[in-house]
Each structure stands twice: as structure tokens, then as C-alpha cells.
Amino acid sequence: MLTALRRLIMDGSIPSGAKITEVGLSSLLKISRTPIRLALKTLEVEGLIRKRDGRGYTVCDLDFDDLSKAYEVRGVLEGLAARRLAMSGLAPDVELKLRRSLQMTADAVRLIGAHDDCGVDMYQEANTLFHETILDACDNAFVPFTLTRLENLPLLKPGTLVFNSENFDMEFQRLTIGHGQHLIVFDAITKRDPARAEAMMREHSHATVNYSMLYSK
């Protein structure tokens, strides 16, 4: 449901400047207000909406040129985190988290392929776990700290997932590629190959915006 709302804003179905409320979205999506409320709080953190003085939220303007530049910076930072982790090696608890994330994304891809909506939420959770685990374990607190300075921009929070069900085949391919990239990053880290880990993580970090635009052509 969070992913669906995010997509409605991204594709302009809910346009910039529009006012949205829990009640209105609950009626539109035919679901209760509790998950709507939680989703709105997440979208506010991601910078896609802002709280109004009264009730409800306003959808923020999206500047894709700024987003592309910000993702370039994010790619450098996440690549650095993966590189450092490959150099230092995986602690057992970190490896366990990454393996759990990889299993979750594999399961999520199977569910999405079967048109089970639960798969998208599972992929989102696993994606966040994968990215945040690498950032937290890279032994350089300035990397995640610097990334938090970008999180006021839309979609910059590591692990954010956008999925357009109306373009299912292309989106499914994109997420399958994303899972494969996670596997390659993990393999490079476990084999202590910092250059490969950094290069793949930098490529992967661009996926939300660059791949979405590429696959929409």
C-alpha cells in the first residue's frame, strides 16, 4: 500500500500541490485509515509530502534533475560503504542480516511473479534491511550520517522502493535485476573484493530513478 501511494505521486496521478488526507485516501483505496496514516508518515519522511498547518498533507514538487544529482552522491556513499565492508570482512551478525535480506528478496520476487501483492511490501522491507545493514556495518559513521542529509529529498532514503503495477512486466524485470545486484554485492563483500563491491553498489544505488525512467521508455 505504501508502494502504491508512492507510485501515485511519482506518476502524477496525485499531482504536485494536491491536498491529501487520511479520510480521502482511505475512501480512494478502499482500506482502513490506520495503514494510510503510517504510509503518510513514511512519505513525509521521504520528502514526497509535507504536513499542512491544518489537517492533511500537500504533495511536494519533484525535480528529477535534482534527484538525479542527489542519487549520484548517494551512489558514491553507498559504494564506499560496500567497499569498506569488503575490506574489513563480515561479522557473523552482519552476514546473517544480509543473508536474511537476500532470502526475503528471493521470496518476494516469486510472490510478485505470482501477482501476490504481499511480495512488494516484502521486497521493500528486505531492500531496506540490505542497504541499512551495509551502511551501519561499514565502520565509518560519516557515511550514514552524510546520507541522512539527503533524506529530505524525495526517494533518497536507502531501500525506498517504487513499483508501478500498471507496467508489471517491466517493473518485475527491474526488481529481479535489483535482487541479482544484491547477490553480486554480497558475493563481492564475502570474497573481500572491494572494487567489485563498490562498483556494483554504485550502479545499484541509481536504480530507483534511473532504472524507472529507463524501463518506462
Q: Which residues of the chain have pLDDT under 50?
A: none
**86 and 160 assigned to the same domain:** yes
- The range of the structural domain enclosing residue 12 comes to 2-59
Q: Which of 16, 44, 59 is at the close of a domain?
A: 59
Residue 217 pLDDT: 53
Please tell me the total count of domains within the chain: 2
This prediction's pTM: 0.79
Cα R_g (the chain), whole angstroms: 17
Q: Domain holding 27: CATH number? A: 1.10.10.10
The pLDDT of residue 56: 92
Residue 24 and residue 90 in one domain: no
Same domain, 53 and 74: no
Cell of 174: 527491474
58 SS3 class:
strand
Examine the domain organization and report whether 86 and 30 are in the same domain: no
Q: Are both 37 and 135 inside the same structural domain?
A: no
Identify whether the C-beta of residue 163 lies closer than 8 Å to the C-beta of residue 3.
yes
CATH number of the domain bearing residue 123: 1.20.120.530
CB 205 within 8 A of CB 74: yes
Q: What is the pLDDT of residue 215?
A: 52
